[in-house]
C-alpha cells in the first residue's frame, strides 16, 4: 500500500475515533475562579467546637544523678566534692482529651509515666493540677482527673471508630514540640495497622495528618467533631512528621475510660479462655484456606468461656459479631472492645466447615493477689510479687501459665534490679523448693543460704540461675 494512502486512512480513522473518545471522557472540566462562598469554606467551625476539650499535659519527675567523679576517693579528697547524689527534674510534654465534664482526661501512659507532678493547660491558658486515675500499659492509655470540684469542662464525644473508612478526612489536635495547641488535617491512610509495636493491642488508625512529638495523647477527630482516636505514635526517620502517624481507635479508648469511671484500678476486658496463634502460609495450605487469615485456637482453658461455647483446639476464628478477623491482633481488638455481661458470636472454620459459636463476655477469674515486696537479704530484695491468676496472666500476657508467683515490679537500684529480674517473670523454684504462692517466696527469701538456685519462666522460656549468698 502506498505510504500516502496509509496516512490518509490513518487520518480517517483518527477523525472517526475522536468524537467517541471525547464522549467517553465526558464533558471537559470547567475552570473558573471560586466564588466568595467557596473561598470561605473552612474547618474552623469544627476546630472551634473541639479545641476547648483538648489540653496540654506537662509531667515532671525527679531523678537522681551522680557524677562518676564522685566515686573517685582521691578526687573527693582533694577537691572536696560531696558524695551524695544530686537530684534533677525531668520534664515531658504531651496532650490530652477531656472526656467527662467533671475533669476526666485521657492521654498516653508514656506521657505521664513515672511523673511526680502532672499539670494540664486548657486552650484558654488556665492550668490545673491532675492526678492519675488509671494506667493501662497494654493500650498505652492513661486517665487523669483534674484537681477541682467546681469546674465543668468541655468534652469530646466518642465516635464509633469501626465505621471509619480509608480516605475519610480527619483533624489532629495537640501540642507538638510544646509550641501550643496546633491543628493539622489529613485523611485516614489505613486501618487496623498491627505492626506498630507500641502496645499489646496492635490495631491502629493510620493518618497523614501531621503528628509530631508532643501530639501524643491528643485528639484525632472527624468532621462532626467527634473523637475517632488518640494520637500515640509516629513513624519517622527524622523525629518529625513524615506523614505516617498512628492513633488508638476511639472504641478502645472508650473501654479504658469506662473502667476509670467505675472506679477500677485496672481495665476489665472480656476473657476468651483460649490461646491463639497466627495463621502462617503453611497452616493455611494445610487447612485448604484461600489465604492465611484468622486466629487459630491452639489450646482451650477448661471451663472457660471458649470451652463452654464449644470451641476446640484447631478451630479457626474468622469473625467476631460479623466483623472480619484477619489475625490474632484483630481478634484481640474486636473481642476486647465488646461490652462485658453479654455474649459475642464468633464465626469459626472447623474441618473446612463454617460454624458459629456463642461465647460469654466475662472477665478472667482472679484470686487474692497477696502482693508483697521482698525486703529480706536475698536475690529477691526489691521485687514486688503477686499470686498469678488467669486474670493477672491475661493482664501481663503470660502464656500457658495460670498459677504461681509473678514479678509485678522491681525497685530501681535494688539487688533484684541489678540481677536482672523483670516484670512478668514467674518464679517457679528457689533452692529446689517449688513456689506456688507469695508467702512461700517470702519464707524462702528469709532462709539464709550460701548459694541461691533459682528457676524462673520469662516469655515462655525457663531460665536457671545460681547466685552467691
Known catalytic residues are 110, 140, 216
Q: What is the dihedral of CA 388, 295, 191, 218, to 10 degrees?
A: 0
Q: Which three cell numbers stand for residue 42?
A: 473552612
User: Which H/E stretch holds residue 388?
Assistant: strand 383-388
In SS3 terms, 73-89 reads as HHHHHHHCCCCCCEEEE
448 phi, psi to nearest 5 deg:
-60, 145
CB 175 within 8 A of CB 218: yes
Rounded CA separation 158/230 (Å): 11
Q: Which three cell numbers stand for residue 97?
A: 482529651
CA angle, corner 172, sides to 168 and 175, nearest 5?
175
Q: Which three cell numbers stand for residue 234?
A: 509516629
User: Which residues 6+ apart lie within 8 Å of 219 measured at CB?
Assistant: 50, 53, 54, 95, 97, 156, 172, 173, 174, 227, 229, 230, 231
Question: How long, in residues, is the chain?
Answer: 469
CA-wise closest residue to 400 among 271, 304, 300, 272: 300
Rounded CA separation 131/277 (Å): 39
Alpha-carbon separation of residue 310 from 68, 179, 313, 320, 348 (angstroms): 62, 55, 10, 15, 11
CB 442 within 8 A of CB 373: no
Q: Which three cell numbers stand for residue 185?
A: 488535617
Rounded CA separation 128/111 (Å): 17
Beta strands in 152-268 (DSSP E): 169-174, 182-193, 204-207, 219-221, 227-234, 245-249
Q: Is the dihedral of CA 298, 301, 305, 311 positive or negative?
A: positive
Alpha-carbon separation of residue 101 from 58, 136, 145, 156 (angstroms): 20, 22, 11, 9
Q: Which three cell numbers stand for residue 335?
A: 473481642
| Number of helices and strands in the chain (H, E) | 12, 25
Amino acid at each position: 500500500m502506498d505510504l500516502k494512502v496509509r496516512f490518509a486512512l490513518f487520518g480517517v480513522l483518527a477523525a472517526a475515533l475522536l468524537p467517541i473518545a471525547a464522549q467517553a471522557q465526558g464533558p471537559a472540566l470547567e475552570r473558573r475562579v471560586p466564588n466568595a462562598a467557596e473561598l470561605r469554606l473552612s474547618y474552623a467551625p469544627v476546630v472551634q467546637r473541639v479545641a476547648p476539650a483538648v489540653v496540654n499535659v506537662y509531667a515532671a519527675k525527679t531523678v537522681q544523678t551522680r557524677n562518676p567523679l564522685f566515686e573517685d576517693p582521691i578526687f573527693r579528697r582533694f577537691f572536696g566534692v560531696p558524695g551524695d547524689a544530686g537530684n534533677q527534674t525531668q520534664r515531658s510534654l504531651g496532650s490530652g482529651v477531656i472526656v467527662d465534664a467533671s475533669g476526666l482526661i485521657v492521654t498516653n501512659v508514656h506521657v505521664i509515666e513515672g511523673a511526680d507532678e502532672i499539670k494540664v493547660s486548657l486552650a484558654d491558658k488556665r492550668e490545673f493540677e491532675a492526678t492519675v486515675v488509671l494506667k493501662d500499659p497494654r493500650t498505652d492509655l492513661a486517665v487523669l482527673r483534674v484537681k477541682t470540684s467546681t469546674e465543668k469542662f468541655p468534652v469530646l464525644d466518642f465516635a464509633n471508630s469501626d465505621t471509619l473508612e480509608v480516605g475519610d478526612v480527619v483533624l489532629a489536635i495537640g501540642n507538638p514540640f510544646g509550641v501550643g495547641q496546633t491543628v493539622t488535617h489529613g485523611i485516614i491512610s489505613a486501618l487496623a495497622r498491627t505492626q506498630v509495636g507500641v502496645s499489646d493491642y496492635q490495631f491502629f488508625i493510620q493518618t497523614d495528618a501531621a503528628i509530631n512529638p508532643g501530639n501524643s495523647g491528643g485528639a484525632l477527630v472527624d468532621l462532626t467533631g467527634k473523637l475517632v482516636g488518640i494520637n500515640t505514635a509516629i513513624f519517622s526517620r527524622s523525629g518529625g512528621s513524615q506523614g505516617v502517624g498512628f492513633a488508638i481507635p476511639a472504641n478502645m479508648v472508650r473501654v479504658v475510660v469506662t473502667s476509670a469511671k467505675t472506679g477500677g484500678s485496672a481495665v476489665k476486658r472480656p476473657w476468651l479462655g483460649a490461646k491463639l496463634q497466627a495463621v502462617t502460609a503453611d497452616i493455611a495450605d494445610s487447612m485448604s484456606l484461600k489465604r492465611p487469615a484468622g486466629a487459630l485456637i491452639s489450646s482451650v482453658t477448661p471451663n472457660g468461656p471458649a470451652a463452654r461455647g464449644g470451641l476446640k483446639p484447631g478451630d479457626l476464628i474468622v469473625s467476631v459479631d460479623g466483623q472480619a478477623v484477619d489475625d490474632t491482633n484483630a481478634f484481640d481488638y474486636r473481642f476486647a472492645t465488646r461490652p462485658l455481661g453479654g455474649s459475642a458470636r464468633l464465626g469459626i472454620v472447623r474441618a473446612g466447615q463454617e460454624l458459629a459459636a456463642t461465647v460469654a463476655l466475662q472477665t478472667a477469674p482472679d484470686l487474692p493477689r497477696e502482693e508483697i515486696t521482698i525486703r529480706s537479704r536475698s536475690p529477691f530484695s526489691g521485687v514486688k510479687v503477686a499470686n498469678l491468676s488467669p486474670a493477672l496472666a491475661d493482664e501481663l500476657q503470660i502464656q500457658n501459665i495460670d498459677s504461681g508467683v509473678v514479678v509485678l515490679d522491681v525497685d530501681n537500684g535494688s539487688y533484684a534490679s541489678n540481677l536482672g529480674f523483670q516484670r512478668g517473670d514467674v518464679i517457679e523454684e528457689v533452692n529446689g523448693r517449688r513456689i506456688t504462692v507469695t508467702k512461700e517466696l517470702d519464707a524462702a527469701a528469709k532462709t539464709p543460704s550460701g548459694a541461691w538456685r533459682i528457676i524462673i519462666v520469662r516469655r515462655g522460656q525457663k531460665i536457671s540461675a545460681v547466685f552467691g549468698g
